[in-house]
Structure 1
Amino acid sequence: MSTAIHSNTAQAFETSLATWLPVDPAQASLRAEYLSFVRAGGDAALDRDGGAEHVTASCFVFNPHLSHLLLCFHKKGRFWVQLGGHVEPADASVAAAALREAREEGGITGLRPAGPAGPPPVDVHRHALSSRFGRCTTHWDVGYVAIAPTDATPVVSPESEDVRWWPTDALPEQVPEGFAERVAVVLRELAHQRDGL
């Protein structure tokens, strides 16, 4: 059995990016760079073994009222951040990878994607990595949104030191630079997508 990312996954991801029209101009500009990266790299663009730069999938997990966001304390990064990780060969899509990572890292099985089936992204964020990340030098992260049940209690996984709900208007101090602004853009994007349904 192949351990490489399936071509259909890469093609579907390219289509998803091509049809997504972000509300934020900076996100729209970065989306165009993502399209160029994916088109040039093909399947390898999504494969952690395809090169030092590759697409990763993340998930902004909110409570039903969108007032709280589930964050994990990242062991390597030493900061609070949304849940996420690499796309695996068994993942049917990048969105499915994001949801799988959220379930694994947050311990909440009842997560549901926000929006329609095959949800569009809500965030793209390319970032360089420190030497603590091994041979990975750059992650081209793509964020999606999932909604947790009202009574959901997160469970710490082996991949995180801590997992905790945070008010969206009172995020922890130890987050990557610009993270609060990203969350605000994600909420705007989600509202825009919901209005379009």
Structure 2
Amino acid sequence: MLYDNAVATLTAWQATSDEADLARKRTLELLTAGPAAMTRAHRPGHVTASTLIVDDQRRVLLCLHGRLGMWMQLGGHCEPTDETLTSAALREATEESGIPGLRLDPDPIDVDIHAVRCGAAPGEPATESLHYDVRFLAVCPPGAIESISEESTALAWFTPDALPSPLAAGVTQQLAPAFARL
């Protein structure tokens, strides 16, 4: 079901930039490998889902990733229990932010392909792979309080004109399509 949803979502999606459209097409090519391309066991690369969380003050919540040491949106690997890309993105955002009640926009805001080192399964040695990251937007409920997960060193809110450093590549390309949706 997750695989079929990923193919349908990316086939129907109207990309938010030329770069995102190229990444969308490359992700659809990856998905010709079948459902295995949704799992971290697919070593050439696999689909991931992430979420840029915004609040009513037009700030973004970023995490300082514990292993990578860079500020980025929240998200990660799809799990066997995820039925859709949106459910994977919402699960990851909720787990990593500690914020219940996030309102996820079902249409992606970006697709980005980037090299990472990750294990085929938790506890396995990391090897080079590609993440084909489908990125979504979520709006934080008023008054929500974030809490750091085991995957992050820190969580913090930032305005788009005062983003932290070091910032993961691809974070800024999400801002315009995200704020255009609000």
TM norm. shorter chain > 0.5:
yes
Partner secondary structure for residue 162 of structure 2: coil
Which residue number corresponds to residue 91 of structure 2?
100
Which residue number corresponds to residue 109 of structure 2?
122
More helix by share: 1
The structure-2 alpha-carbon separation of the partners of 1:48 and 1:108, relative to structure 1 and needing over 3 Å to count, comes to same
Per-residue CA distance 1:85-119 (angstroms, 9 max, x = gap): 100000111111110011100000121113xxxx1
- 5 Å-filtered alignment, 1:8-27, equals 8-27=1-20
- 5 Å-filtered alignment, 1:102-181, equals 102-114=93-105, 119-130=106-117, 134-181=126-173
Aligned counterpart for 2:50 among listed residues 31, 35, 58: 58
Unpaired stretches in structure 1, ≥5 consecutive residues: 1-7, 192-197
17-26 or 86-95, which deviates more: 17-26
For the 8 Å contact 2:73–2:171, the answer to whether it is kept is: no
The structure-2 alpha-carbon separation of the partners of 1:99 and 1:15, relative to structure 1 and needing over 3 Å to count, comes to same
**2: distance between equivalents of 1:131 and 1:112?**
29
**2: distance between equivalents of 1:91 and 1:139?**
17
For the 8 Å contact 1:44–1:51, the answer to whether it is kept is: no
Runs of 4+ in 1 over 6 A off after TM superposition: none
Partner secondary structure for residue 127 of structure 2: coil
Correspondence 1:89 to 2:76: no
Per-residue CA distance 1:68-87 (angstroms, 9 max, x = gap): 11111101111110000100
For the 8 Å contact 1:52–1:135, the answer to whether it is kept is: no
**Distance apart, 1:180 and its partner CA:** 2.1
Counterpart residue type for residue 144 of structure 2: A
**2: distance between equivalents of 1:129 and 1:50?**
13
**2: distance between equivalents of 1:90 and 1:131?**
20
Unpaired stretches in structure 2, ≥5 consecutive residues: 120-124
Counterpart residue type for residue 88 of structure 1: E
- Between the aligned residues of both structures, percent identity stands at 34
The structure-2 alpha-carbon separation of the partners of 1:168 and 1:120, relative to structure 1 and needing over 3 Å to count, comes to same
Q: How many residues align?
A: 177
For the 8 Å contact 2:109–2:174, the answer to whether it is kept is: no
